[in-house]
Amino acid sequence: MRFSKKSFLPIAITTIVSQSPTAQAITANQLAEQFEAYKAQQAKELAAIRAENAQLKQENAALKKQFEETQQQVSNNAEAVDTVAENLESGTGKSGWWEKTTIGGYGELHYNNHLTESDPRERTNEIDFHRFVLFFDHHFSDKLRFFSELELEHAIAGDGKAGVIELEQAYLEYDFTDWASASAGLFLMPVGIINEKHEPDTFYGVERNQIEQKIIPTTWREAGVSTNAHFDNGISMDLAITSGLKLDENYSIRSGRGQLGKQDVSDPIIAARIKYTGIPGLELASTILHQTDMEQRQTGIPIGGGTLYEAHIIYSHDIGPGTFSGRALYAMWNLDIDDPTVKDAENQYGWYIEPSYRIPTPMGDVGAYGRFEQLEYFNKSLKKSNIWSTGVNWWIHKNVVLKGTYFYEDKRDGSSNVRGFDLGIGYQF
């Protein structure tokens, strides 16, 4: 007969107990006590587990409630954000106008020391806060914007004072698409290099070049409408119809600006520009501008239409530790004048070339330039000049510049040559 290990232990215990009554009683009591103690321990542990389980259920319910409340809060916040965005887009939000309005400006102070060679007594030695300009721009929406510039020239304006207060720009711009927009109001004409971008820290020389003063009467603004289209290949085009110039018996282009103060608009200007910037560092542009009646049917001088042709190139390239830049511009007016005594006024032109080199230093960028200008313009008589100039710009901040210029003007019309130097400071923000 075979016994398994499982059946042997109970048989052995039974045998021992049966042989000793006393041992049987003691063992039975002990077993009973141990069993009761075990039952009590199990009951206690079971009660603790049940209590812990109840607490976990309670905490789980609280967490579930908190999660549901958080979800509801997130949903409420998202709805609130959508509502605010819709309100801002529709213009009914409570955000202040100042959040979409920017203020900026620029200014320049000049010191001029010029000497007429034929007469040392004819000397310019003066200081002038030439321009103080403030920008005010506002975005009505992502598509509609307003731009303006208010300018004070020569520090003080009024009767008998050198200065004037002028509204230089005030126009609305609207985006039809990502690549096409239109403007209406008072804006700068799309011609030349510095007519539209003329802040003092953006060009070399204390004074602006003579070509873009006498031939392109910078800063030249008119009132009207314009359109702009720009494409991914770097080509952009502008077309504008605006108020026009009004020449008098001096036949001076610069003096023909009306400044939009009850200006005659009998004959408008049509201007078209094409520009290419598809290669980094390169800008090529050309403008054709035509006005059918250059005297606005008012002055009675024998002049008909006029056409301005302008082309320029700007190129910049890193060489060594700095950047080489070059600018060149040509501009010419063809005027239809029916008076043989002022035929010299029919073709007024000028061109310039300007290489420069700019290098960064621990104290700000420093740049040096040279410029040659050739100019023929009319103001009572024909004026001819060759102008050489050179100078240094020191940008103590990217938008703050100190300038120095030396120039020599050879007047080919027979009047006296002029030489001198200029010092200046300029800023924009």
* Residue 122, domain member (yes or no): yes
What are the b/e assignments for 312-332, b being 16+ CB within 10 Å? bbbebeeeeebbebebebbbb
* Predicted confidence band of residue 85 (pLDDT cuts 50, 70, 90): low
Q: What are the tens digits of pLDDT across the range 159-172?
A: 999 999 999 999 99
Do 291 and 410 belong to one domain? yes
Structure tokens at 27: 């063992």
Do 116 and 235 belong to one domain? yes
* Predicted confidence band of residue 13 (pLDDT cuts 50, 70, 90): very low
Peptide bond between residue 219 and the one before it cis (omega within 30 degrees of 0): yes
Cα–Cα distance between 234 and 245 in angstroms, integer? 32
pLDDT above 60 for 25: no
* Backbone angle region of 247, left / alpha / beta, with phi > 0 → left and psi within -120 to 50 → alpha: beta
* Residue 424, domain member (yes or no): yes
CATH number, domain containing residue 334: 2.40.160.10
Cβ-count burial of 137 within 10 angstroms (0-12 exposed, 13-18 middle, 19+ buried)?
Answer: middle
Q: Which residue among 89, 109, 137 closes a domain?
A: 89
Do 165 and 277 belong to one domain? yes
Q: What are the tens digits of pLDDT across the range 119-176?
A: 878 899 999 999 999 999 999 999 999 999 999 999 999 999 999 999 999 999 999 9
| Percentage of residues of the chain with pLDDT beyond 70 | 88
Q: Which residue among 57, 89, 121 closes a domain?
A: 89
* Residue 94, domain member (yes or no): no
Question: Which position has the higher pLDDT, 306 or 18?
Answer: 306
Do 181 and 228 belong to one domain? yes
The beta strands (E) that lie in 140-191 are given as: 144-153, 164-175, 180-188
pLDDT above 70 for 2: no
Q: Is 5 helix (H, G, I), strand (E, B) or coil?
A: helix
Question: Which position has the higher pLDDT, 331 or 298?
Answer: 331
Cα–Cα distance between 280 and 298 in angstroms, integer? 47
Residue 123 CA to its chain's centroid (Å): 41
Do 198 and 170 belong to one domain? yes
* Predicted confidence band of residue 83 (pLDDT cuts 50, 70, 90): low
* Residue 62, domain member (yes or no): yes
Total number of residues shown for the chain: 429
pLDDT above 50 for 7: no
Mean pLDDT of the chain: 89
Cα–Cα distance between 278 and 305 in angstroms, integer? 35
* Residue 261, domain member (yes or no): yes
Do 111 and 79 belong to one domain? no
Structure tokens at 344: 């010299």
pLDDT above 70 for 106: yes
Do 339 and 241 belong to one domain? yes
Which pairs from 226-229 meet CB under 8 Å and 24+ separation? 226/182, 226/183, 226/184, 226/187, 226/190, 227/180, 227/181, 227/182, 227/183, 228/180, 228/181, 228/182, 228/183, 229/179, 229/180
Cα–Cα distance between 89 and 13 in angstroms, integer? 92
pLDDT above 70 for 94: no
Angle at 152 between CA 150 and CA 157, to 5 degrees: 130
Question: Which position has the higher pLDDT, 223 or 2?
Answer: 223
Do 153 and 260 belong to one domain? yes
Among 152, 128, 148, 127, which Cα is nearest to 138's?
A: 148
Do 26 and 137 belong to one domain? no
* Residue 124, domain member (yes or no): yes
pLDDT number for residue 24: 45
Among 171, 300, 273, which Cα is nearest to 223's?
A: 171
- In the block, residue with structure tokens 């002028």: 166
Domain that holds residue 43: 5-89
Q: What are the tens digits of pLDDT across the range 269-293?
A: 999 999 999 999 999 999 999 999 9
pLDDT number for residue 55: 78
Instruction: Calculate the alpha carbon distances from 112 to 119, 131, 367, 418, 422 in Å.
Output: 17, 15, 21, 12, 5
Q: Which residue among 41, 69, 89 closes a domain?
A: 89
Do 114 and 72 belong to one domain? no
Cα–Cα distance between 84 and 212 in angstroms, integer? 48
Cβ-count burial of 334 within 10 angstroms (0-12 exposed, 13-18 middle, 19+ buried)?
Answer: middle
* Residue 68, domain member (yes or no): yes
Do 158 and 12 belong to one domain? no
63 residue type, one letter: L
The beta strands (E) that lie in 10-163 are given as: 101-116, 123-139, 144-153
Cα–Cα distance between 209 and 198 in angstroms, integer? 11
Instruction: Calculate the alpha carbon distances from 110 to 129, 164, 423 in Å.
Output: 6, 17, 6
**343 contact partners, CB below 8 Å, separation of at least 6:** 337
Do 72 and 126 belong to one domain? no
Q: Is 244 helix (H, G, I), strand (E, B) or coil?
A: coil
pLDDT number for residue 30: 72
- In the block, residue with structure tokens 């830049």: 325
Question: Which position has the higher pLDDT, 1 or 221?
Answer: 221
pLDDT number for residue 49: 80
Number of domains observed in the structure of the chain: 2
